[in-house]
Amino acid sequence: MIDRRDFLATTSALALLGPASAKAQTAPRDTDWLHYANDLSSTRYSPLDQINAANFNKLELAWRFSTNALGPRLDADYQSTPLVVKGRIYVTAGFRRDVVCLDAGTGELLWMHTYDEGERIGSRGGPGLGVGYWTDGASERIVYVTRSYNMFSLDAKTGLPDPNFGDSGRIDLRQNDDQVMDATKGIIGLHAPPFVVKDTIVVGAAPTEESKGYVRGFDIKTGKRKWIFHTIPNKGEFGYETWTTPGQAEASGNMGAWAPMSADPELGMVYVGIESPPTDLLGVTRTGPHLFAESLVALDIETGERKWHYQMIHHGIWDRDVSCAGVICDIPHNGKIIKAIAQPTKQGFVYVLDRTNGKPVWPIPEKKVAKGDVPGEWYSPTQPIPSAPPPFAKQGIAANDLVDWTPQIKARALEIASHYHMGTLYDPPPLTSDKLFGALCVPGLQGGINWPGASYDPETNMLYLFAKNQLGVIGARVTKDGKVVQAGGPPPPGSADPNGGTFGGVASLKGGAPPFRSRPDSLNDPIVPGMISIEGIPLMKPPYGTITALDLSKGTMAWQIVHGETPDHIKNHRLLKGVTVPRTGQTGILGTLTTKSLVICGDCGLFTDEKGRKGARLRAYDKTTGEQKGAVFMDKVQTGATMTYMLKGKQYLVCAQGSSYGADLVAYCLPGEAPAAVRPEER
């Protein structure tokens, strides 16, 4: 990948030469995108600026690669971000999670690798988030994890498995994992790309309660396991005593590292985020703060030895998995440069730590939090609350946060909310009853931020984050036999919210349409568990989606804007005729891309525009002010984070898009002759 300093030096030199001399020079050098978020630092940043505020609206479709022919079913939620290496795109795609290699200038399919896993079951379906890349200067490898937890190493030129890696190019990741699991039915998988650092492949896991989500390092050349880190400590290991009831650590599962990772090769550390233990919202089987749940752990790249950890939630009962990679950043602080890592979270905080030792850059005091009433639950008396930067997502909910566009809507919102507990970020899930349906949880169970993570400008120390502001419902209940269980998931048959709520979940705005056709009398329908909307209007005030710029040199918020249009079903709602509704934005899981002058992010929901077209937009914002500078029509919504590269004098923007009609990888560039396909002998 081109070094950012070399790129800036080249472009500056061309500017000094003047127009005529610059024209005589060669075109801008091609650039690569070698990791899920471009670099090991997970910055999702590129200094390219051929596409800028002045011309963004002129972008045209360069090529489109459909995934509809890959697999027996369509993939509506195509989450992958491609890599670009020497003019080739490498990406996972389709229902079966095949790997395809495309010409980066034309989208032409060059090769594909597919593997039939038969009846083997995995915990994470879909195409996954992408692939990993490695080279020693001569050999090049593409590594990926299949739906059912096999890992392949492929020759980047041909797509053929590397015969020197594992068993003819494949490793069964259910083996050699310090635990026993069924080879076919063990429910474990991974949707994040394998993370390649130097000659080590770091692989996490997304297991269920039956399996433990250990993290392992493998040799890139042979596939041999180099190390393993027990996210749930074994007896005698550091952290075991934080599981305060004997036997609970041994009995627990989950605790995987399912999100992308980041690394600092100079320090020799990889930074791994760990998820919640089972059952996410209930901790009666796991007393104590139990490491390493909801923690960021720094591991030695070569040995897997724990260098430090920081637990962001003690005894989590809110499903606050560490859902994305921490961002490696060198920031000025108190007159010196701190080697930092900024970890965005579902709960809407960014924890900024010294990445050499895990100590907070700004104070993160332990603050008292409420204790709940669930029998047998263990409650942490405090939680660490960052003093800076400020939260980038809505946290907690009160009566003033309920939708109030009309007196009728406000009254109904208060009536529905009276059946739920409303409180702060760390108010615990309550014991439910016929009168109390649970607690309204903000952010919802998906965040906040999720797997795409943030983007970061190393020139200005600005961190850019998309946030999803959406209600969730949490609670616990006692069964007839006296067992305490998590009250999450869909409500019992016949008690579903006719207005689109789900108990333990959200009233989705994705796609811009309500989940049912409103009835004129539905305002008088009985209020049932899981009802968290008013005829499809979310109970909480907008904005539903935002982009925030945080200045990590100061620990302050630079700006925050609403991202996305108002959904059609709100804009045209029968209860809102004659009401001026502000731009609401839309909920979803998105990631930002930062370039020399822009922050770029697509819409996660459809809407009908002034021309009567149903679609979405790829949007560009001025990165210093948040002002929208351009928007390009998309016929599907963005489902994978946007990336960029330069190829033969053209800058491309590429993102995965999806709908109920299938998914595509779509490339945009400025008008003009696109480069011809590269002949095989030139590759």
Does residue 464 surpass a pLDDT of 80? yes
Please check the confidence at residue 516 and state whether its pLDDT lies above 60.
no
Distance (Å, whole) CA 547 – CA 660:
26
Is it the case that residue 135 has pLDDT exceeding 50? yes
Q: What is the CATH number of domain 192-388?
A: 2.40.128.630
Of all residues in the chain, what percent carry a pLDDT higher than 90? 83
pLDDT, residue 634, reads 97
* Among the listed residues 272, 313, 306, 307, the one whose alpha carbon sits nearest the alpha carbon of residue 290: 313
**Is 80 exceeded by the pLDDT of residue 681?**
no
* pLDDT at site 209: 81
pLDDT class of 142 with cuts at 50, 70, 90: very high
Percent of residues, the chain, with pLDDT higher than 70: 90
How many CB atoms neighbour CB 434 within 10 A?
7
**Which one, of 293, 258, 274, lies nearest residue 378 by Cα?**
293
Mean pLDDT over 268-273 rounds to: 98
Check the CA dihedral 28-29-30-34 and report its sign: negative
Q: Tell me the pLDDT band of 7, cut-offs 50, 70 and 90.
A: very low
The pLDDT score that the predictor gives to residue 678 is 42
Cα gap 521→516, rounded to integer Å: 14
C-alpha span between 305 and 129 (Å, rounded): 27
Q: Which residue intervals of 402-483 are DSSP H helices?
A: 407-417
**Residue 585 vs residues 385, 557, 657: alpha-carbon distances, Å:** 28, 20, 18
Quick: pLDDT tens for 254-265: 999 999 999 999
Q: d(Cα 533, Cα 536) in Å, to the nearest integer?
A: 5
b or e along 163-200 (b: 16 or more beta carbons within 10 Å of the residue's beta carbon)? eebbeebbbebbeebebebeeeebbbbbbbbbbbbebb
- Looking at 51-65, 216-230, 477-491, 667-681, which range is the least confident one? 667-681
Beta bridge partners of 638: 657
pLDDT confidence of 26, banded at 50, 70, 90?
low
With contact defined as beta carbons under 8 Å apart, do 195 and 263 qualify? yes
Mean pLDDT of 287-309: 98
Strand ranges in 427-526 using DSSP code E only, listed in sequence order: 438-441, 455-457, 462-468, 472-474, 476-478, 484-486
pTM here? Answer: 0.92
DSSP H or E segment with residue 14: helix 4-24
SS3 labels along 562-591: ECCCCCHHHHCCHHHCCCCCCCCCCCCCCC
Per-residue pLDDT at 92: 98
The answer to whether the CB of 311 falls within 8 A of the CB of 518 is no
Element (H, E) at 19: helix 4-24
Residue 487 pLDDT: 80
pLDDT the model gives residue 501: 34
On whether the CB atoms of residues 591 and 466 are closer than 8 A, the answer is yes
Report the distance separating Cα 344 and Cα 351, nearest Å.
Answer: 7
pLDDT at 408 over 90: yes
- Name the nearest CA neighbour of 145 among 163, 171, 120: 171
Q: Is 114 helix (H, G, I), strand (E, B) or coil?
A: coil
105: exposed, middle or buried (C-beta count within 10 Å: 0-12, 13-18, 19+)? Answer: buried
Q: Distance (Å, rounded) from C-alpha 250 to C-alpha 366?
A: 29
In whole angstroms, what is the distance from residue 82 CA to residue 102 CA?
10
Radius of gyration for the chain, computed over Cα atoms and rounded to the nearest angstrom: 25
**What's the Cα-to-Cα distance from 548 to each of 48, 560, 582, rounded to whole Å?**
22, 4, 18
Listed by start position, the domains of the chain span: 1-30, 192-388, 396-441+471-541
Nearest to 387 by CA among 366, 369, 363, 351: 363
- Angle at the Cα of 517 from the Cα atoms of 516 and 523, rounded to 5 degrees: 95
For position 496, what pLDDT does the model report?
36
The residues, ordered by sequence, that sit 6+ positions from 358 with a Cβ below 8 Å of its Cβ are 296, 298, 307, 308, 309, 310
Provide the pLDDT for residue 282: 94
Q: What is the pLDDT of residues 201-225, one digit of tens each?
A: 999 999 988 899 999 999 999 999 9
Residues 6+ apart with CB under 8 A from 492: none
Query: If you average pLDDT over every residue of the chain, what do you get?
Result: 90
For the chain, counts of helices (H) and of strands (E): 4, 44
